[in-house]
Structure 1
Amino acid sequence: CVVVVVMILTTMFVLGKTVTVHQEPVAGVKMELPDRILNYSGVEGSVSPLEIETLGKDTEFERKVYYSLDGKTTFWLSIVLSGKDRTSIHPPEACLRGQGWDLESHTEVLFIPMSRPHPYRLPVRKLAATESDDLARGRSKRQLLYLYWFVGKDLVTPTKNTMTFRESWDRVFYGKSHRWAYVTLAAVMQPGQDQQTLQKMEAFLQAAVPEFQLVAPQES
């Protein structure tokens, strides 16, 4: 039974990459982040030359760095929206390691309660990491909390495999390829501040997500 399922999934994946499909312009996000969220003020974030060079030419970026009014908290909020080239959408582990972060082996999915536009739970994957020796350069090592999820035209998931399955399904059975968004929220902190920071991140997302995400799952 498992072998049959694997064969079906493999076939869908291969066909999804080879059949002729129509590129749908519809996205599940709005590529415009607000200048202010709660007591945080946002400024434009940068896109690295490496991202521009390696990701698809039709990839879109929207990024802002948000600073709390008291200057104690900084959040990095980012949306990467794919075009025809799906290399734009990928899990962040490899990138974070390349930036000098040592990732914890354990990850978990959190469900953040949302109230707008209706009550639902937003599923996000949480990564935690510590600065490497090279990045810290002799000072006290900081910690990183990283939340991310993927948004399609009518689906929200914290799992890359779910996104890939849905993408292949739409390609094979409907002949369509939809744009997917990869949303991330990151915060850097001193050791021991992870729980307090996570609470702030959840409150931040409760206010921010309804401003740019057009998909709000219906829960039974």
Structure 2
Amino acid sequence: MDHTQKSILGPRLFVIAALAVAAWAMVYKTGVATSDEAGIVLHLPEEVADWRGVDLLFCPNRECGGQFFPAQLADPSTCPRCGSPLGNMNWAERSMLPADTGLVRKYYSRPGGRDDLHATIVLSGDDRSSIHRPQVCMTAAGNEITEERVIRIPLAGRDQPLEVMVMDMVKPVQREDGTPAIYPSYYAYWFVGKDRETASHIVRMVWMAYDRIFHGVSHRWAYIALSGGRVPGSGAHLQTIADFASQLHPALLKPE
């Protein structure tokens, strides 16, 4: 695994041109067919190497904000705090994402509770706005992004490594006794389209525009996200991400 620091002095002209083409294609290109074909399966396995996964349920009531494991509940369909129907999206996701968005998530941990993380797949529906820059949601939730970098993860049986964007973040929180604290975390993601993968939102937009302009089709895109806590000053979470993603990746591929 290697990683590349994101430069703020990148090819700005390319970015501007790419966004202009993408915007033109999204708005003015006509005769575009919407395809239901996706590049991955909308499913997370129960086991990934020695990680074990369990489902998560969320209360859609913003005032409640409950999050539960099904095994904790006598009735997994109802929030034990407020009585609202439970689902796999939290209140923010329910309010922001189009109704036909596909989403699955699990909480994974290794024996002894180590290297625990959340894995999520978001798959766009007919409304392609389901997929956007995760930075928008992370900062809106009160996180400060302190570092971004792309890591390249070797995959068995493939020459091209998997590129994953990793954001290191911190968030002010309160301890149970009411005293303030800082929670250091990470959020890692990559985008998947039909026969395409990228860690770049801009590259994804360019591919979407290319398909609309030259092939007259708009495919469904997804993003896969891994998130969890980290130790400040340590890069151990990068290895956890690489180990998990390299084992998860084959399970996400659609059968030929």
Q: Do structure 1's residue 210 and structure 2's residue 221 form an aligned pair?
A: no
Distance 2:18 2:117 in 1: 41
Deviation, 1:163, is 0.7
Deviation, 1:172, is 1.8
Letter of the aligned partner of 2:151 in structure 1? L
Q: Do structure 1's residue 94 and structure 2's residue 158 form an aligned pair?
A: no
Q: Structure 1 residues 189, 140: CA separation in 2 closer, same or farther (over 3 Å shift)?
A: farther
TM normalised by structure 1 equals 0.85
Contact (CA 8 Å) 1:102, 1:132: kept in 2 or not?
A: no
The structure with the largest alpha-carbon Rg is 2
Distance 1:155 1:122 in 2: 11
Out of 8-17 and 77-86, give the one that drifted further.
Answer: 8-17
Q: Deviations over 1:61-101 (max 9, x none)?
A: 01111022211331111110012212211111121122222
| 2:26 corresponds to | 16
Q: Do structure 1's residue 191 and structure 2's residue 232 form an aligned pair?
A: yes
Q: Deviations over 1:143-171 (max 9, x none)?
A: 11211111010111111111111111111
- The structure with the greater share of residues assigned to helix is 1
2:42 counterpart SS class = coil
Deviation, 1:205, is 1.1
1:97 counterpart SS class = helix
Letter of the aligned partner of 1:32 in structure 2? H
| 2:161 corresponds to | 121
| Matching residue within 84, 88, 101 for 2:126 | 84
| 1:131 corresponds to | 171
- State the aligned residue count: 211
Deviation, 1:210, is 0.8
Letter of the aligned partner of 2:206 in structure 1? F
Q: Quote the sequence identity (%).
A: 29
Contact (CA 8 Å) 2:172, 2:181: kept in 1 or not?
A: no
Letter of the aligned partner of 1:124 in structure 2? V
1:204 counterpart SS class = helix
Q: Structure 1 residues 146, 162: CA separation in 2 closer, same or farther (over 3 Å shift)?
A: same
Contact (CA 8 Å) 2:124, 2:222: kept in 1 or not?
A: yes
Distance 2:118 2:101 in 1: 19
Pairs within 5 Å for 1:29-48: 29-45=40-56, 46-48=88-90
Contact (CA 8 Å) 1:150, 1:183: kept in 2 or not?
A: yes
Distance 1:67 1:132 in 2: 25
Segments of 5+ residues of structure 2 without an aligned counterpart are 1-11, 57-87
Contact (CA 8 Å) 2:22, 2:208: kept in 1 or not?
A: no
Distance 1:147 1:50 in 2: 19
Distance 1:4 1:126 in 2: 23
Q: CA RMSD in A?
A: 2.6
Segments of 5+ residues of structure 1 without an aligned counterpart are 216-220
Q: Structure 1 residues 35, 14: CA separation in 2 closer, same or farther (over 3 Å shift)?
A: same
Contact (CA 8 Å) 1:23, 1:84: kept in 2 or not?
A: yes
Q: Structure 1 residues 203, 15: CA separation in 2 closer, same or farther (over 3 Å shift)?
A: closer
Distance 2:148 2:15 in 1: 26
1:199 counterpart SS class = helix
Distance 1:47 1:4 in 2: 36
Distance 2:14 2:104 in 1: 41
Letter of the aligned partner of 1:14 in structure 2? W
